[in-house]
A = this chain, B = another copy of it.
């Protein structure tokens, strides 16, 4: 199936099925993540309460775990949710925000990978290199490495973890360890809006929930992010209006029109 056909089919499937995407995400990202999922036709549910994790995972189509704002209590919720998703064979996305910036972030991400086998690991180059075992110098939660530098690390991480690895950057690389797909859409201003990486992760969650092949679904999610970002950047007067136009794009885009703009 062509990239274009695959993209159009996944977008239609999300709008038709409205998958329930359970997000354990950070406080900075919660609002834009929920709005992005609603915009594309999915249904968000934000919860991290350990006592309800099993029930919530059971009614959801996919889970997204984002370690952006860690907290002992929230880590407990993440572990239960990820283990339940793995046990129930529900697809789940790990966003290892800031892995490498602190020991607890790196260890939490690594133990979630080891114990609960994420379907997709989606991060920036610094985070992916850190999880692949490379020594990098972290600069907080933004990437200090180029996505192209992380391709070999991403392949190694995919092979060792069994997950699809999706590295965002000027070019996004999505790999199962053997095949590497690329998306060259996007705009530099996207990195000046908070939680855009987190948004890429929940959109990836919606795409893998919609069925279809995971590698291509993860690729299609990054295509949607990148093209919506390009169009929002063309319309905006700064990063405030860019965020608004970005959500407008997600809520109104024509899948065939977008498919024609995909740059691989």
Residues of chain A whose beta carbon lies under 8 Å from any beta carbon of chain B: 20, 26-32, 34-35, 38-39, 43-49, 51-52, 55-56, 59-60, 68-73, 98, 101-105, 138-142, 191-195, 236-241, 243-252
Could you show 6 A-B contacts with beta carbons less than 8 Å apart? A27-B30, A31-B31, A35-B239, A49-B102, A55-B101, A241-B248
Q: Is the CB of A43 within 8 A of B244?
A: no
In the complex, the chain B residue whose C-beta lies closest to that of A138 is B59
Chain B residue nearest to A244 (CB atoms) is B240
Nearest neighbor of A55 in chain B, beta-carbon distance: B102
A128 to B245, CA, bound (A): 35
CA distance A22 to B105 in the complex (A): 16
Q: Which residues of B contact A139 (CB under 8 A)?
A: 20, 43, 59
How often does this chain occur in the complex, in copies? 3
Bound CA–CA A194/B46 (angstroms): 11
Q: Is the CB of B193 within 8 A of A35?
A: yes
Given A28-B31, A102-B56, A240-B245, residue A69 in contact with residue B43 (CB < 8 A): no
Given the known inter-chain contacts A31-B31, A31-B195, please indicate yes or no for A51 contacting B104, CB distance below 8 A: yes
Q: Are A192 and B45 in contact (CB under 8 A)?
A: no
Leading 9 A-B pairs by shortest Cβ distance? A238-B248, A240-B247, A52-B102, A34-B194, A240-B244, A239-B251, A238-B251, A49-B70, A45-B140
In-complex Cβ contact of A244 among B47, B241, B246 (8 A): B241
Q: Closest approach, in angstroms, between the C-beta of A53 and any C-beta of chain B?
A: 9
Contact indicator A247/B238 (Cβ below 8 Å): yes
Instruction: Establish whether residues A249 and B239, one from each chain, have CB atoms under 8 Å apart when the complex forms.
Output: no
* Contact among B39, B45, B237, B251 with A248 in the assembled complex (CB-CB below 8 Å): B237
Chain B residues positioned under 8 Å from A26 (CB to CB): 46
